[in-house]
């Protein structure tokens, strides 16, 4: 029998994306379909979602959803089966999903995503299971738990525990929850309301996006104040590594590339490298071309990379940076490009097509994250023969095989991992990559090995399906 799951999130590729969450939410329905699981994706009715909806029908009208008028609209968009929460007072705005054109968070984000959770709980009652992603959707599990009817089972997935969805206690009365919900066992979190915490406390199962991160978040360094909860509920915490959409990320058919290629035609990458050089104003050289496709934040270790740009150039490397984020880091990379014309090029902004070209044309991708729940850019890099140079943390540690002597000798290495996000650690890893790049055979072997690895959704899709089915088995509770 087909299991029907409501997957709730604040982003889904190709409709609305600020990061990896969107890629994963957009890919899950196809990943689960072979396992007899039908996933309907519920999103806020942002303008980008409402205009993309086809064959839409109104499922329900709310006169008063936490104080606003709203409709649930079902339809198809971007290849997904969608339920949109059309609440113009909350979601019909210019700007991003979480912040306005000025870059500041919307002041009513608490109410916006509580409303999403409240409505999602209503919809989930008509399905077999709720699957909520990150703090923006996590309240759905709490509303189910504190609802009057028997609750639908729920899974909450942590894509990044560093975003807790914390709001001061004054928000509580507006949430429409019973007073008994405001306890440490409920939604209360450091004196206010923690949306992620509320969901994690309520969920029947918690997943996160790699096995290593599932372990790491039991520690204060990574758990961000939720390590106690994660440890207490550890028997319900599962690490399932993300897959990638191998139709969208396929170097043999990618329309964003100047030249398509596969593991046997790696030479064709040089045409893409030239396109990257042209796009970033770089001059040719024998050394490797490193790239960055990232939010420019401290989580991603971008401050450390910015600090070693002079060293990277001195070692014979070049760098193309595509990203946006902290103003200070944007300025640091722009200044590095000005210091090293032809060697460092920077594109501040978000550009999906250019991100594909970089993976297809750069020699290596640098990912010095302080923590990384899963990370997708290393997976795209591996598939594109763009060798990852990354910190040994979270999903990076789970998906990259470091090019140590043993791994090189047996031909299983796929990239370079380093411990501790420091300038020395990163410089050393970059030097290792530059040296390996000088040995053509060795570099080809790294590329080919990465391209051979299977990061499709196959196994992980099956693991989600097994988890859903376990929660639905009569003996589950």
Q: Which residues are near ligand ADP by CB under 6 A? A: 19-21, 23, 293-295, 322-324, 350-352, 355, 374-377
Taking phi first (over 0 means left), then psi (-120 to 50 degrees means alpha), and beta for anything else, what does residue 460 get?
A: alpha
456 binds, among ligand GLC, ligand ADP, none (CB under 5 to 8 A by kind): none
209 binds, among ligand GLC, ligand ADP, none (CB under 5 to 8 A by kind): ligand GLC
Q: Is the dihedral of CA 345, 347, 352, 353 positive or negative?
A: negative
Contact 40, 7 (CB under 8 A): yes
Rounded distance between C-alpha atoms, residue 338 and residue 360, angstroms: 25
Q: In the structure encoding, which two tokens stand for residue 255, read together? A: 């329309």
Nearest distance from residue 279's CB to ligand ADP, in Å? 13
Stretch that binds ligand GLC, among 56-64, 345-353, 370-378, 440-448 (CB under 6 A): 370-378
If you search the block for the tokens 């490797």, which residue do you land on? 288
323 binds, among ligand ADP, ligand GLC, none (CB under 5 to 8 A by kind): ligand ADP
Is residue 24 within the footprint of ligand GLC (CB under 6 A)?
Answer: yes
Nearest distance from residue 369's CB to ligand ADP, in Å? 8
Is residue 41 within the footprint of ligand GLC (CB under 6 A)?
Answer: no
295 binds, among ligand GLC, ligand ADP, none (CB under 5 to 8 A by kind): ligand ADP
Q: Which is nearer to ligand ADP, 152 or 377 (CB)?
A: 377
DSSP result, 65-108 = ETTEEEEEEEEEETTEEEEEEE-HHHH--SS-SSB-TTSPBPTT
Rounded distance between C-alpha atoms, residue 82 and residue 335, angstroms: 43
Among 31, 37, 376, 446, binds ligand GLC (CB under 6 A): 376
Residue 406: C-alpha distances to residues 412, 413, 435, 444 (Å): 9, 9, 17, 17
Q: Which of 318, 345, 305, 332 is nearest to 426 (CA)?
A: 305
DSSP result, 35-54 = GTEEEEEEEE--HHHHHH-E
Nearest distance from residue 369's CB to ligand GLC, in Å? 8
Among 7, 41, 109, 160, binds ligand GLC (CB under 6 A): 160
Q: Which of 232, 153, 241, 238 is nearest to 197 (CA)?
A: 232
Helices and strands, number each (H, E), in the chain? 20, 18
> In the stretch 191-220, what mask flags binding to ligand GLC with x, by CB under 6 A?
------------------x-----------
346 binds, among ligand GLC, ligand ADP, none (CB under 5 to 8 A by kind): none
Q: Which is nearer to ligand ADP, 310 or 352 (CB)?
A: 352
Q: Which residues bind ligand GLC (CB under 6 A)?
A: 19-21, 24, 159-160, 209, 242, 372-376, 395
């Amino acid at each position: 029998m087909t299991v029907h799951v409501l997957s709730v999130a604040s982003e889904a590729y190709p409709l609305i994306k600020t990061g990896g969450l969107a890629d994963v939410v957009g890919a899950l329905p196809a990943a689960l379909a072979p396992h007899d699981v039908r996933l309907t994706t519920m999103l806020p009715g942002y303008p980008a979602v409402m205009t993309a909806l086809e064959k839409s029908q109104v499922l329900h009208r709310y006169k008063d959803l936490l104080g606003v008028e709203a409709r649930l609209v079902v339809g198809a968009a971007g290849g997904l089966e969608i339920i949109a929460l059309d609440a113009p007072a909350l979601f019909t705005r210019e700007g991003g999903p979480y912040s306005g054109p000025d870059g500041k968070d919307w002041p009513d984000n608490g109410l916006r995503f509580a409303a999403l959770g409240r409505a999602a709980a209503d919809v989930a009652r008509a399905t077999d299971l709720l699957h909520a992603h990150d703090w923006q959707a996590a309240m759905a599990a709490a509303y189910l738990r504190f609802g009057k009817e028997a609750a639908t089972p729920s899974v909450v997935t942590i894509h990044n525990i560093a975003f807790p969805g914390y709001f001061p206690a004054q928000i509580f009365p507006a949430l429409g929850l019973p007073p008994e919900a405001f306890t440490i066992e409920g939604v209360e979190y450091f004196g206010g309301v923690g949306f992620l915490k509320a969901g994690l406390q309520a969920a029947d199962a918690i997943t996160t996006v790699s096995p290593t991160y599932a372990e790491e978040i039991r520690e204060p360094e990574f758990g961000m104040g939720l390590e106690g909860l994660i440890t207490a509920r550890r028997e319900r915490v599962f690490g399932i590594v993300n897959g990638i959409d191998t139709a969208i990320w396929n170097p043999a058919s990618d329309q964003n590339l100047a030249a398509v290629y596969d593991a046997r035609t790696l030479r064709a990458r040089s045409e893409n490298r030239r396109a990257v050089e042209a796009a970033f104003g770089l001059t040719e050289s024998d050394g490797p071309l490193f790239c960055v496709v990232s939010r420019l934040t401290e989580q991603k270790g971008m401050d450390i990379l910015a600090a070693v740009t002079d060293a990277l150039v001195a070692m014979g490397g070049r760098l193309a940076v595509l990203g946006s984020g902290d103003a200070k880091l944007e300025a640091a990379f722009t200044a590095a490009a000005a210091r090293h014309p032809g060697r460092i090029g920077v594109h501040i902004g978000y550009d999906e097509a250019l991100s594909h070209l970089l993976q297809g044309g750069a020699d290596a991708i640098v990912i010095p994250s302080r923590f990384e729940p899963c990370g997708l850019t290393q997976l795209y890099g591996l598939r594109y023969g763009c060798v990852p140079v990354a910190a040994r943390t979270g999903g990076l540690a789970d998906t990259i095989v470091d090019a140590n002597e043993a791994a090189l000798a047996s031909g299983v290495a796929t990239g370079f991992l380093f411990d501790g996000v420091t300038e020395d650690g990163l410089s050393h890893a970059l030097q290792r990559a530059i040296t390996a790049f000088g040995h053509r055979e060795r570099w080809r072997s790294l590329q080919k090995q990465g391209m051979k690895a299977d990061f499709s959704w196959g196994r992980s899709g099956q693991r989600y399906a097994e988890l859903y089915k376990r929660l639905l088995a009569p003996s589950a509770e």
